[in-house]
Amino acid sequence: MNVRQRKLKDDTSAPHINVRSRTIKHPRKLKKVFIFLIVLALCITYFLGLFAGQSQWLDGLAKSLGYESVYHHAVIIDAGSSGSRVLAYKFRVPFTVFGQGNLDLVDEYFEQSKPGLSSYADDPEKGADTIVQLIKKAEFLTPPHKRKATPLIVRATAGLRLLPADKAQQLIDSVARAISKLGYDVAPDGVKIMDGADEGIFIWYTINLLHNQIDGNTMAALDLGGGSTQITYQLSDDDKENYPSVDQYVVPAGNNITLYTHSYLNLGLLAARHGVFRLENPGNSTEFSSLCVDPIIQREPWTYANTNYIVSGSPRAHGTKRSAVYNACHSLVRRYVLATLDWEPKQPPLGSVAAMSYFYDVAADAGMIDVMSGGTVSVEAYRAAAQAACTSSNVDQPWACIDLVYMVALLQDAYKIENNKPISLFKKVNGHEVSWALGLAYTTVMNRIVITP
C-alpha cells in the first residue's frame, strides 16, 4: 500500500513579516521549532508506515484503548465423497488506518459425519437431514441475532460429481429446502456442486492464510479427497506459457496474482483404489482380487459409491522379494494414474509444497508422521513405507499397500515431484482445520465487507 508523501512548498501568499518586530532570541527559537517539526514529520512518517502495513502492534494498541471489534460469521458445509463436515467460523475485523485489512480468524467449530451425502442418492430427504444436524451442532458459534446476516453455504465435491445428474440434483434440492428453514443467509446458489478449480483455489487460500503467506512466497497446495485431487500454485509471468490458459486464475491476494489449479476427477484416493481394482478385474463383478493387497486378506468387505465389494489379495510365489511386490503394484497403479490424467504437467509444482487430507491420513496411518502434529515427508519416504506395507501381513490396514503406492504414483509420476523434495503435511495449523472451507468463508466475508458501504 503506497503512502502519499507531501512536499513542503514556499507559501507565497503568506503576509510580509516585519523584521523590526523580532528580538535577538527569535532566530534560536525558530531553529528549535524547525527541528521539532522535522522530528515530528519523521515520527509521523514512521507511524504511517506502520499503519499502512496494518501492524499488529497498531491493532493491539487500538484494543487496549477500547476499540470495539466488529465480528463476522460464516458456516460452510463440505459435502465430500467420504463424509460431510461443518466448519463454522468467527472472524474479527482488525483496526486499520488505511484501506481494508485482512480478517483475523478468532474461532471455529468443526464436526463431521459419515457416510457422505452421495450415499443418500436414493433417499435425498435423509441425506438433507444429515446436513441439518451438522449445522445445528455448530449453532452456538453464531449469535441468534447475527444468523440472518451469516452466510450458510453448502458445497458438494467429487461424490456428487460422480452421481447421475438427476440423482445429484435431487440431493441438492432437498438440502436447499431443509437449510432454508434454519434462519441463516442462504443465497440462491447456496447449495451446489463445487467446481474442482474452486476447491483447489480455496484450499490454496486456506493454507497460505494460516501461514500468513498470502502476500509473500506462497506455498503450493495439494489436496486429496476420496473422489478427486487438486493441485494449485502461484505462477510467475514467465511460467504462464507452460500451462493451459483454462487452468489459470487471477485471484485477489495482496497484489493480484495468477494461480495454476487443476482438479483430477477419479484420482481421489478411494476412486483410484476402485479404478486399480477394476483394472485388474474387468467386467461388472463386485469381487476383486488384487496384487496390491496382501494374500492374507481374503474376502474383505469394502463399500465405494454405494456399491458393496469383496476384495482379496492375489496369491504370491513363496519368497517373493519386497521390491518385486512393490514394483508390480506400482506398475499397475502408475498405469491407472497416467491413463486417468486429463492433462499431465511437464514440471513439478513451483515453490514449497503443502499437502492435506488423504495425503496426511495415509502417512499418519503408516507411522510416517505424528498423527496430531503432522510433519514433513517426501516421495522417497512414501516409497519406503509402501515397500514395507506391500510385504506386511497387516489385517488391520488391508489397503496400506495400494494407498501408499498410490501416493508415490500421484506425486512422482503425475505431479513430477522429485524423490527428496520436502512435502509438508498439515491437518491443522495453529489449531485451525486445514480445509478449503476456510478459504471460501474468508473470501465470502471479505467480499461482503468490500461491497457494504
CA–CA dist 69, 54 (Å, integer): 15
CA–CA dist 35, 88 (Å, integer): 54
CA–CA dist 149, 254 (Å, integer): 27
Compute the average pLDDT of residues 97-120.
83
225 annotated ligand binder: no
How do residues 4-18 score in pLDDT, each as one tens digit? 333 323 333 333 323
Q: Do domains 70-194+432-453 and 196-421 have the same CATH topology?
A: yes
What class is the 70-194+432-453 domain? alpha beta
How do residues 169-199 score in pLDDT, each as one tens digit? 999 999 999 999 999 999 999 999 999 999 9
Cβ-proximal residues to 195 (8 Å cutoff; 6+ apart), any chain: 263
Q: What pLDDT score was predicted for residue 7? A: 31
60 annotated ligand binder: no
Q: What pLDDT score was predicted for residue 56? A: 54
Cβ-proximal residues to 96 (8 Å cutoff; 6+ apart), any chain: 51, 54, 58, 59
Domain spans of the chain, in order of start: 70-194+432-453, 196-421
Q: What pLDDT score was predicted for residue 410? A: 98
Partner residues linked to 388 by β-bridges? none
Q: What pLDDT score was predicted for residue 216? A: 77
Cα→Cα distances 444→53, 76, 87, 177, 438, Å? 23, 11, 14, 22, 10
Give the residue, 101 or 224, on which the prediction is more confident.
224
- Indicate yes or no: pTM above 0.75: yes
CA–CA dist 229, 413 (Å, integer): 14
Q: What pLDDT score was predicted for residue 17? A: 28
Nine-digit cell at 75?
Answer: 458456516
331 annotated ligand binder: no
| Residue 439: HSE in the Cβ half-sphere, 13 Å Cα cutoff | 24
**Which one from 68, 108, 139, 199 is the annotated catalytic residue?**
199
Compute the average pLDDT of residues 128-141.
97
Give the residue, 255 or 127, on which the prediction is more confident.
127
- Determine which of 57-66, 331-340, 380-389, 417-426 has the lowest per-residue pLDDT on average: 57-66
pLDDT at 37 over 70: no
- What is the average pLDDT value for the chain, to the nearest integer? 86
169 annotated ligand binder: no
Torsion angle of C-alpha atoms 193, 197, 198, 201, degrees rounded to 10: 160
Nine-digit cell at 145?
Answer: 441475532
CATH topology of domain 196-421: Nucleotidyltransferase; domain 5 (3.30.420)
Compute the average pLDDT of residues 386-400.
93
| 124-137 and 165-179 helices, crossing angle to 10° | 40
How do residues 40-65 score in pLDDT, each as one tens digit? 655 554 454 444 444 454 445 445 44
How do residues 431-449 score in pLDDT, each as one tens digit? 899 999 999 999 999 888 8
380 is annotated as an active-site residue: no
Q: What pLDDT score was predicted for residue 96? A: 57
The percentage of residues in the chain with a pLDDT greater than 90, rounded to a whole number, is 71
| 56-64 and 26-52 helices, crossing angle to 10° | 100
Q: What pLDDT score was predicted for residue 217? A: 87
357 annotated ligand binder: no
Q: Is the dihedral of CA 405, 406, 407, 408 positive or negative?
A: positive
Q: What pLDDT score was predicted for residue 324? A: 92
